[in-house]
Amino acid sequence: MTDLVIQGVGKRYGAVAALNGVDLTVAGGSRCAVIGQSGSGKTTLLRIIGGFEAPDAGRVTLGGDLLADGPAIVPAHRRGIGFVPQDGALFPHLTIADNIGFGIERGAADRAARISGLLDTVELDRRMLTRRPHELSGGQQQRVALARALARRPRLMLLDEPFSALDTGLRETMRKAVAAILAQAGITTILVTHDQSEALSFADQVAVLRQGELAQVGTPAALYHRPRDPATAAFLGDAIILPAELGDGWAHCALGRVAADTGTRRGQGQIMLRPEQLRLNPAQGAGDGRVAEVEFGGASCRAIVALPDATTFPVGVSSLELPAVGAPVHIAVQGTAHVF
């Protein structure tokens, strides 16, 4: 397996620090998603890994091979790295066969067989080999771009927001298909995205970048349920963050007494709950709060609940159980609150 190791990587553009001492290890054959807000440094990190930029400081190694040691770098074409950009970047004047075979030597005896096999790998009909990119849908073009990158038999695959231009349903289908293809091939993969749900569902490991520094790295479940700080919690999805008095395995907050992972913490603190941890039940009289707003979203709906102290937060509800706006409700908390 080919481990990617990034050590102390820094990059500045004039007075702006795009990256500042980034350390990240990606296990061979695994998938890592790098996420962050616009300007957080995720594209700069991807370009440094790919060899399109040189770091000012730090080292990058792949499978033990040194790719960058400060400004001294191995050129991109000698790294054995595949790259799939956001728009696919297919050559419009070439057929699909020639696009896929662009990285395969013209004289290779098995060239035609490899091109056809790669089209099979990304689950496209072989009749498409003679077409041009404009004759394919957006999802089909992305599959061809992936096949072209796989043709180089890369040690590492870089995906730069490859699903963002696709329709919602197609995006999910493509994400699952690409993850399965890369897992079967055993290729170490880095996905850069601004879509939190995409990162959580695609990757084995998620790295959150904030202002050029890694805020937290871990499994999707660990980051979602146990974020390091409120900013990370909010970036990864709806988060209900409340002040609380911490006790031995509990927290007293605006929702009452709830179970909490307090550890040795006592006294004042903050807790986090995810909307899916709350359940609403109809109340007679005042209840714990009232429904201030209802957001219908088909399979995923939300009710915005207001407490007597004017605190509001979202609660996930079934489309079959949407409460009426203004209805009083009791709030039940499931699971354990996370303590910051």
More confident residue, 321 or 86: 321
pLDDT of residue 280: 94
Listed in sequence order, the residues at least 6 apart from 14 whose beta carbon sits closer than 8 Å to its beta carbon are: none
Residue 126: left (phi > 0), alpha (psi -120 to 50), or beta? alpha
Same domain, 323 and 297: yes
Contact 11, 53 (CB under 8 A): yes
Average pLDDT for 156-185: 85
* 216 and 269 share one domain: no
Which letter does DSSP use for residue 335 in this model?
Answer: S
Say if CB 311 and CB 292 are below 8 A apart: no
Per-residue model confidence (pLDDT) at position 220: 97
- Looking at the fold, whether 226 and 243 belong to one and the same domain comes out as no
Tell me what the mean pLDDT of segment 184-212 comes to. Answer: 94
The H or E element that residue 192 is part of is strand 188-193
212 and 253 in a single domain? The answer is no
pLDDT confidence of residue 178 = 86
Please, where are the H alpha helices in 14-154?
Answer: 42-50, 96-100, 111-121, 138-151
pLDDT range class, residue 53, cuts 50, 70, 90 = very high
Q: What pLDDT is stored for residue 210 in this prediction?
A: 96
Position 59 scores a pLDDT of: 98
Same domain, 158 and 290: no
Mean local confidence (pLDDT), 241-269: 95
- Picking from 181, 196, 72, 31, the residue whose alpha carbon sits closest to that of residue 118 is 181
DSSP string spanning 302-315? EEEEE-TTS-EEEE
Tell me the C-alpha to C-alpha distance, in Å, between residue 340 and each of 35, 196, 203, 244, 273. Answer: 21, 21, 25, 10, 11
Region 208-232: mean pLDDT is 96
Taking residues 299-326, report their average pLDDT: 92
Which pLDDT value is given to residue 1?
59
**What's the rounded Cα separation, in Å, for the pair 287 and 20?**
49
Domain shared by 167 and 249, yes or no: no
pLDDT of 128 = 93
Percent of the chain residues topping a pLDDT of 70: 100
Residues 16, 154 within the same domain: yes
**Residue 254: partners with Cβ closer than 8 Å, 6 or more residues away:** 242, 307, 309, 311
Give the Cα separation of 129 and 163 in Å (integer): 22
Comparing 114-123, 163-172, 244-253, the range with the smallest average pLDDT is 163-172
For residues 209 and 259, membership in a common domain is answered with: no
In the predicted structure, residue 175 carries a pLDDT above the cut 90: no
pLDDT in tens, 256-266: 999 999 999 99
Same domain, 217 and 138: yes
* More confident call, 310 vs 103: 310
Task: Give the single-character DSSP code of 324.
Answer: P
Cβ-contact 299, 248 below 8 angstroms? no
End residue of a domain, out of 230, 264, 292: 230
What confidence score (pLDDT) does residue 16 get?
94
Tell me the one-letter amino acid at 326: G
Q: Does one domain contain both 244 and 226?
A: no
pLDDT tens for 96-136 read 999 999 878 887 888 999 999 889 888 899 999 999 999 99
SS3 call for 297: coil
Residue range of the domain that includes 283: 239-339
* CA geometry: angle 332, 220, 84, nearest 5 deg: 140
Are residues 312 and 187 part of one domain?
Answer: no
Considering 186, 210, 230, which residue would you say is the last residue of a domain? 230
Domain final position from 179, 198, 230: 230
**Residue matched to tokens 């897992």:** 183
Distance CA(86)–CA(166), nearest Å, equals: 10
Of residues 52, 99, 82, the one with CA closest to residue 191: 82
User: Over the stretch 276-295, which tens digit does the pLDDT of each residue have?
Assistant: 999 999 998 888 999 999 99
84-93, 237-246, 310-319, range with the lowest pLDDT: 84-93
Q: CATH number of the domain at 15, please.
A: 3.40.50.300
The DSSP bridge pattern shows strands 156-160 and 188-193 to be: parallel
Domain containing residue 314: CATH number: 2.40.50.140
Average pLDDT value for the chain: 92
Helix/strand/coil for 227 = coil
Is residue 168 located within the same domain as residue 301?
no
Q: Are 262 and 246 in contact (CB under 8 A)?
A: yes
Number of structural domains the chain divides into: 2
Report the share of the chain in percent with pLDDT over 90.
74
Determine the Cα–Cα distance for residues 291 and 207; give it in Å rounded to an integer. Answer: 36
